Structure 1
């Protein structure tokens, strides 16, 4: 059985793992930079400013699960929470800290400072951090809150002493709880669900590893013991799941014993679990299990947009299966983290794919509204509640009838509070240190300021990537250093070029490392300009039932099905059929119901695809992922086919037997992130 008996887990806790022997974390392939070292630029800055001006940046002003959270009250006195997990404020805090500092936004900084000050002020005398008292204490929601605290320390050293002291006190208490029959972790009273903290414990271990690396102390042996105890005592080890004969290619979503392993957000977080444990133990089997996690998950449960199909539970690859917004942000972070640990180029490509496609498609351009679920084939984002109140059971659990509509909280509020981490975590992890040099890992417009070889380095990357594939780097360095630029796996290495001018001038030869994708450039002191041109072509990836997904670079393209929308007052997730919530302080808060206006039942001939690009110096629309905003597109020949609806409300799997029922026509494909209704798993036909 996958679920290890608690008694066995506690016994195993007494067996030291490799990490306890070596007391040294395995080194990063690419070391992360502190929060604030990297700032967004270009279109990415526009997207993040929209988030700050939209829902994410105003939740502290009105959203009760944030500004009336139990975390902001005397422990045990309660507050507004959507579940007993008390995760809303921690989720929000984890995303708002990097958003505030990357934008240097004083209003948002004041919000996170106020929250950090209040929560730390309520730390219990025994070290517990959070609103729970007595047997209600459990570990899960500390994980995202601690992520926020560690980022706050990196960005603002004035918080260092207070936060590190608080975390050390907490870890001392955690050690006692783990030794006390795994209190609050694997052993909880019936009214407390401990499975979330166990399935996601690797993210808590990341905070412990941060403490060991950044603030070594005489507490280190206790921190090592905590890591070992957490991993030994969890009943849900992702390395066990990603084992031949255990992992399920097609899942029965009703099998409750598998739930922690098939819940989409758990999967997004769990992708990196074995890489976290590898840093602790050095066990080479964790490298294999990490690769299995990525390869198998995306082969059998992945969307072309870069996320995990699970609504909320995995099944298979049917294009009507949904994927949570929370899953997208967790998947992107896991891929970025795994690239830093192992240096596998495919992980960086996947992080970009998720952020450029799966993430932005689920938000309106102004970022005031978002989806709970996105489907690969989604020509309608409508309220499907029938007049008698019944709802077609399209999804495994998310069947409120409004899961794909856009709004304040179109279903469970977790995505309302968790989605703000998407872009900021991507920016934080986009530049990294590598072999004494500085590396651009996740390609995007940005500016990095750091110290390399004892000298100050500032690099600004001006680019419209991924809308065009030309990146221009303006470098100012006090001392000579090595710059590394990543070449994506999908690029044409023979045709891509690098050129350098300024302090040193030369034509460079691309010779990317086969594992990391990094190409090395030696940069002299002074000012230097490097121009990096990545050559790519249209490519297709196979999808189920003789269908394909169409890409140019790391952008997924979808059939343009048109766009028409209506709106209403925002609804609470608990009352999707009511009149909506009036009296909210921001008129931008609306729910949106989006329909298609063009045929969606189209098969295409991929041999006829033609790409229409955008100049590398073009001024892109802002925000770029507004409906219909991206200027690049494709044309393709195709025709309408007979294609039934699943449960009468959404396209079924593409029919294997297909023939044209209309004339051959030219159709338009547009970037997925700017197509709020879309078809991306497209059946093929030959003319």
Structure 2
């Protein structure tokens, strides 16, 4: 799978060399095929060494995540647009942090979209061994131990780009851009809050472009606290400014969406974030020397819940004081909804079995969903309950 993730850059690089449009068409066909047969909710393609299908308990290797991100960053530089920017953000804000422990001293070789435990055990991998699902120093093999560190720095280095006329913001993540002619300070809490502020100080006139995600229903745009009519060119908001200091505020209007998966299962998204039911975690040291331990993580709360097509969702924001923002215990955002406990969701080869297709239950509970990346044990693809049983 790592080779597949790396190879996607080929289409953009050959376009740069030849100028032939056929390479973008080939790229789009390749991505559609991968999504159809191996796509996972977190934006990646499955691959517990070999391509492994769409089942939410198949593994996705950490090396493939950072290489896929770098390919999307390269393609974004070549082609621009939200087709690649949205793919990059979904993987960066979900799959990448999910595979790494909160203190960054351990990681998983293979993560699962529906991950009910992390243990040394036989799973339905195409090839990887029984340790691949552990959090550890080098579970299964040490490649991810080296590669995991390139994910965030390369992503950060591609937040802003430059074309012949403009400074181009590809993701509204907080950062600072400094050139001889201007400085740009991006403030906010993106992607947890779907917008932010650009504080610009310039010595001369300038043009900015800010990528608008495809999930955004509307863009609310203000200059120096005065609402403006947004000028949009293709997938980018166009901002033209003069020498001096200005403050631009952008808000991408998002809504909770249900993403259809196999077997009538659904995933919940808000902006670029996937939302999961966090399972209470019990971490146990298996071996190693401080701080580089190998850990198993056992579930300490119920995980067998279904959602309904009638379910409503309310988004809540929380004050966040911790340095590690990807942590289900104190997430800056959560979604409250109703779920139904189901008895017939089984465990197969130490993983959650396929989300049941025919689901019936009368045991309703309030569920709090949190961003996928902060929940080390989680359910992210939910069965849908037979709505004929629901009165409200």
Fold match, TM over 0.5?
yes
Which deviations, in whole Å up to 9, do the C-alpha atoms of 1:530-565 show, x marking residues without a partner? 011111110121111101111111110011222111
Q: Distance in 2 between matches of 1:393 and 1:481?
A: 55
Q: Distance in 2 between matches of 1:621 and 1:322?
A: 29
Counterpart check, 1:531 vs 2:249? yes
Q: Which residue of 1 aligns with 2:315?
A: 612
Q: Distance in 2 between matches of 1:548 and 1:619?
A: 28
Q: Distance in 2 between matches of 1:638 and 1:316?
A: 27
CA contact (8 A) 2:175 2:185 kept: yes
Deviation at 1:511, TM superposition (A): 3.4
Q: Which residue of 1 aligns with 2:40?
A: 303
CA contact (8 A) 1:545 1:654 kept: yes
Q: Distance in 1 between matches of 2:297 and 2:123?
A: 20
Deviation at 1:627, TM superposition (A): 4.5
Q: 2:136 aligns with which of 402, 407, 419?
A: 407
Which deviations, in whole Å up to 9, do the C-alpha atoms of 1:616-647 show, x marking residues without a partner? xx544211123523131112212122112222
Helix, strand or coil at the partner of 1:315:
coil
Q: Which residue of 2 aligns with 1:508?
A: 228
Q: Distance in 1 between matches of 2:330 and 2:33?
A: 34
Q: Which residue of 2 aligns with 1:498?
A: 221
Q: Which residue of 2 aligns with 1:573?
A: none
Q: 1:658 aligns with which of 347, 356, 359?
A: 359
CA contact (8 A) 1:379 1:678 kept: yes
Q: Which residue of 2 aligns with 1:668?
A: 368
Which deviations, in whole Å up to 9, do the C-alpha atoms of 1:409-460 show, x marking residues without a partner? 0111110001101000101111011341111112211101125xxxx11101
Q: 2:183 aligns with which of 416, 433, 458?
A: 458
Q: Superposition pairs for residues 312-323 of structure 1, below 5 Å?
A: 312-323=49-60
Structure 1 length-normalised TM:
0.55
Counterpart check, 1:266 vs 2:3? yes
Q: 2:340 aligns with which of 639, 642, 648?
A: 639
Q: Which residue of 1 aligns with 2:31?
A: 294
Structure 2 length-normalised TM:
0.94
Counterpart check, 1:601 vs 2:295? no
Q: Which has more radius of gyration? A: 1
More strand by share: 2
Give the number of equivalent residue pairs. Answer: 386
CA RMSD in angstroms comes to 1.6
Deviation at 1:337, TM superposition (A): 1.3
Helix, strand or coil at the partner of 1:683:
coil
Q: Which residue of 2 aligns with 1:558?
A: 276
Q: Distance in 1 between matches of 2:28 and 2:332?
A: 36
CA contact (8 A) 1:310 1:321 kept: yes
Q: Distance in 1 between matches of 2:378 and 2:233?
A: 37
Q: 2:169 aligns with which of 416, 440, 444?
A: 440
Helix, strand or coil at the partner of 2:260:
strand
Q: Which residue of 1 aligns with 2:125?
A: 395
More helix by share: 1
CA contact (8 A) 1:542 1:549 kept: yes
CA contact (8 A) 1:605 1:636 kept: no
Q: 2:329 aligns with which of 612, 625, 628?
A: 628
CA contact (8 A) 1:568 1:591 kept: yes
Deviation at 1:471, TM superposition (A): 0.4
Deviation at 1:298, TM superposition (A): 2.0
Q: Which residue of 1 aligns with 2:157?
A: 428
Q: Which residue of 2 aligns with 1:417?
A: 146
Change in 2 beyond 3 A, CA 1:606/1:332:
farther
Q: Distance in 2 between matches of 1:376 and 1:318?
A: 9
Q: 1:546 aligns with which of 264, 275, 283?
A: 264
Q: Distance in 2 between matches of 1:678 and 1:429?
A: 30
CA contact (8 A) 1:312 1:398 kept: yes
Helix, strand or coil at the partner of 1:295:
helix
Q: Distance in 1 between matches of 2:382 and 2:164?
A: 43
CA contact (8 A) 2:320 2:330 kept: no
CA contact (8 A) 1:621 1:630 kept: no
Unaligned runs of 5+ in 2: none
Deviation at 1:283, TM superposition (A): 2.0
Unaligned runs of 5+ in 1: 1-263, 385-391, 571-581
Q: Distance in 1 between matches of 2:138 and 2:291?
A: 14
CA contact (8 A) 1:364 1:627 kept: no
Which deviations, in whole Å up to 9, do the C-alpha atoms of 1:591-613 show, x marking residues without a partner? 11111222212111243232333
Q: 1:589 aligns with which of 281, 292, 315?
A: 292
